[in-house]
A and B are shown apart, each in its own frame.
Chain A
């Protein structure tokens, strides 16, 4: 409990310092609860998510950092490893490959990497996974681009 607070406070200070260093990640802590964080990440370039801004919700357990934070997409995203309705993310470092050496910031980086390199063999979004597994990359990209434009880009007009 105290350890997780101290650790999160240190990460908070680190984030304040590194805000300029990583322009793709904006990590903010809830005003009243240090165990609730939200992050805004930019879709990586040369992917169908380019140009979109995706919101993530972090729920940090009290056993953190021995237990991984729970992360989900608040922004709709068409991705094989993200549940389309709940935003749940299938990422090994958020499950069994978690290490206490990871931070919330590094989790954000891992999620950006996952957006650039989807893993269709363990899909949470079966439609997306099936498109990629059948080799229809163009179909996947157009769907993902459409949802990025619908959900992750500022509305025009």
Chain B
């Protein structure tokens, strides 16, 4: 649920970005086309954040520098939205990383999960707060619109996201119409930040996410976490050492089930019991029904693994 809200909150910024750069104003695009494009864009900035260490700083300083002069307000808006998106993306990625490290922590208790949830909630609110602040600083009208729709997004969680995209697209289109001429005065500025966006996307798009990847989308299921639960219960369900001789059970011993009662023991003790009275320690029934198969298996084990002796 919270991951969804993060993802949804991130998409509008990507929408504004693509909307600004694609200067063909086809407002009546279908939602499907939009979504696919936005997904690609989202992948791009997710993978881009790997280099954010220096990039974010430079962008941030450029934002502050460019916010100062009043004459190029429109281009500032363009830039600041781009930079804002990048810096916000970085900030959000930090929260993603925090979430990830939380989910990776050895204690898989539900409390740690809730803590990560609350943390991500906080980071989301921070995200909207900072974006509204900085966008207010750069340009009033479109910035407010942006932040307003973002908070709406957060409230609607996941269902209303498509509608909100439409709303943002409309709002941005209106804003672009108003400030169309200054954008055209600087046709080269927008592609400039876009190029580093595109190159990592080409390299990263086709490889699988590693579970420890920093830029791994949080929406992907955490397989490590899922696997850890059955593994844990499995290890506790079976004894790790033979109850008779207290030696550790190896792979062969662990798969060795001599009696239908389920009493497990190592092959060495089983052999000694067969030589003695041949009764299962757990249920006292004779092993004889499985005796032949067990002894042949036993012989093979002993020939393979002399350390049993």
Instruction: Check B284 against A7 for contact (C-beta < 8 Å).
Output: no
Question: Assuming A66-B272, A66-B273, A66-B276, is B284 touching A3 (CB within 8 A)?
Answer: no
Q: Tell whether B282 is near chain A: CB-to-CB under 8 Å.
A: yes
* Residue in A7, A97, A99 whose CB lies within 8 Å of B245: A7
Cα distance, A7 to B241, chains bound together (Å): 11
Q: Tell whether B136 is near chain A: CB-to-CB under 8 Å.
A: no
Which chain A residues lie closer than 8 Å to B272 at the CB level?
66
Instruction: Check A101 against B263 for contact (C-beta < 8 Å).
Output: yes
Cα distance, A46 to B243, chains bound together (Å): 35
Q: Tell whether A23 is near chain B: CB-to-CB under 8 Å.
A: no
Q: Tell whether B244 is near chain A: CB-to-CB under 8 Å.
A: yes
Which residue of A has the minimal Cβ distance to B280? A99
Instruction: Check A99 against B284 for contact (C-beta < 8 Å).
Output: yes
Instruction: Check B245 against A3 for contact (C-beta < 8 Å).
Output: yes
Which chain A residues lie closer than 8 Å to B247 at the CB level?
3, 6
Instruction: Check A7 against B246 for contact (C-beta < 8 Å).
Output: yes
Cα distance, A3 to B271, chains bound together (Å): 14
Which chain B residues lie closer than 8 Å to A65 at the CB level?
244
Main secondary structure of the interface of B (DSSP, over half): loop
Cα distance, A34 to B243, chains bound together (Å): 18
Main secondary structure of the interface of A (DSSP, over half): loop
The distance from the CB of B233 to the nearest CB of chain A, in whole angstroms, is 23
Which chain B residues lie closer than 8 Å to A10 at the CB level?
246
Instruction: Check B284 against A100 for contact (C-beta < 8 Å).
Output: no
Which residue of B has the minimal Cβ distance to A65? B244
Q: Tell whether B257 is near chain A: CB-to-CB under 8 Å.
A: no
Instruction: Check A101 against B273 for contact (C-beta < 8 Å).
Output: no
Q: Tell whether B50 is near chain A: CB-to-CB under 8 Å.
A: no
Instruction: Check A101 against B246 for contact (C-beta < 8 Å).
Output: no
Instruction: Check A66 against B284 for contact (C-beta < 8 Å).
Output: no
Which chain B residues lie closer than 8 Å to A9 at the CB level?
246
* Residue in A3, A6, A7, A99 whose CB lies within 8 Å of B279: A99
Instruction: Check A100 against B246 for contact (C-beta < 8 Å).
Output: no
Q: Tell whether B269 is near chain A: CB-to-CB under 8 Å.
A: yes
Which chain A residues lie closer than 8 Å to B276 at the CB level?
66
Chain A residues 1 to 31 lying within 8 A of chain B, measured CB to CB, are: 3, 6-7, 9-10
Cα distance, A6 to B247, chains bound together (Å): 8
Question: Assuming A66-B272, A66-B273, is B245 touching A101 (CB within 8 A)?
Answer: no
Which residue of B has the minimal Cβ distance to A11? B246
Cα distance, A125 to B245, chains bound together (Å): 36
The distance from the CB of B242 to the nearest CB of chain A, in whole angstroms, is 9
Cα distance, A65 to B263, chains bound together (Å): 15
Q: Tell whether B281 is near chain A: CB-to-CB under 8 Å.
A: yes
Of A3, A9, A97, A100, the most chain B CB neighbours within 10 A belong to A100
The distance from the CB of A132 to the nearest CB of chain B, in whole angstroms, is 28
Cα distance, A52 to B128, chains bound together (Å): 76
Which residue of A has the minimal Cβ distance to B265? A100
The 7 nearest A-B residue pairs measured at CB: A3-B245, A101-B281, A100-B281, A6-B246, A99-B281, A10-B246, A100-B244
Chain B interface residues toward A at CB < 8 A: 243-247, 263, 265, 269, 272-273, 276, 279, 281-282, 284
